[in-house]
Chains A and B, each alone.
Chain A
Amino acid sequence: KAGVTQTPRYLIKTRGQQVTLSCSPISGHRSVSWYQQTPGQGLQFLFEYFSETQRNKGNFPGRFSGRQFSNSRSEMNVSTLELGDSALYLCASSPGQGVMNTEAFFGQGTRLTVV
């Protein structure tokens, strides 16, 4: 079974630009979560999608948005990039609703550098 796939692996953008990151979950998984990881703030939850609906959102500005498609693939978008958005963005998939003891499976991450 293929794991969680994130593309691209590395990205360099300029302040003010926008960026779209992609995540393909494990086949059959319907929940996709996104996290931002920085040395200063650690792992911070961005949002979670289940069956194309955002059901939970972390404390990030509206510049951060996401969506999920009918095949469970997810994208996250960051508009008007700031230097502080430089981070490793991690995507995780899990089977979905109501399965509390199920772990999340993580992708390798996308390393975003804003210059």
Chain B
Amino acid sequence: AQSVTQLDSHVSVSEGTPVLLRCNYSSSYSPSLFWYVQHPNKGLQLLLKYTSAATLVKGINGFEAEFKKSETSFHLTKPSAHMSDAAEYFCVVSTRFSGGYNKLIFGAGTRLAVHP
């Protein structure tokens, strides 16, 4: 069965310092992986996605993630945090059901706080 685990429920960083949000997945085949961001009372916005092309994926707003099959990880990073990055981040794996369609499995989320 496919699953995704976000290792930290809360992460706090200072503005200008690096961001690391950790995600591990479980999948019986080569997965598609996504990171979404949600600002308060808003919907989810796609940051980036991995679909078995390059293992280092660049997304919007300076975020990137590296797919590591040996570690079953897909951690999200950003070299320098900005106050506007404060939000909740979701790691998502796409899983295939019989009948050929796919379903998204969401992690529990990591709330990122950025301090001046």
Contacts and interface: CB of A to CB of B under 8 A. Distances in A.
B92 to A, nearest CB: 8
Contacts of A101: 32, 49, 51-52, 94
Q: Which label, helix, strand, loop or mixed, suits the secondary structure of the B interface?
A: strand
Interface residues of A, number: 30
Contact of A55 (B43, B90, B99): B99
Interface in A60-74: none
Contacts of A56: 97, 101, 103
B43 A100 contact: no
A34 interface: no
Given A55-B99, A97-B101, A98-B100, A109 B43 contact: yes
Interface stretch (B17-25, B79-87, B104-112): B104-112
Interface string A19-46: 0000000000001010100000011010
Nearest to B100: A98
A104 interface: yes
Interface in B26-66: 32, 34, 36, 41-46, 49, 51-52
Majority-rule SS of A interface residues: strand
Contacts of A43: 90, 106, 109
8 contacts: A43-B90, A55-B99, A56-B101, A98-B102, A100-B32, A103-B49, A104-B104, A111-B41
Given A35-B106, A97-B101, 13 more contacts: A43-B90, A43-B109, A50-B101, A96-B101, A97-B99, A97-B100, A98-B101, A102-B102, A103-B34, A103-B46, A104-B104, A106-B44, A109-B43
Interface of B: 32, 34, 36, 41-46, 49, 51-52, 90, 94, 96-97, 99-104, 106, 108-109
Interface of A: 4, 6, 31, 33, 35, 42-43, 45, 48, 50, 55-56, 88, 90, 92, 96-109, 111
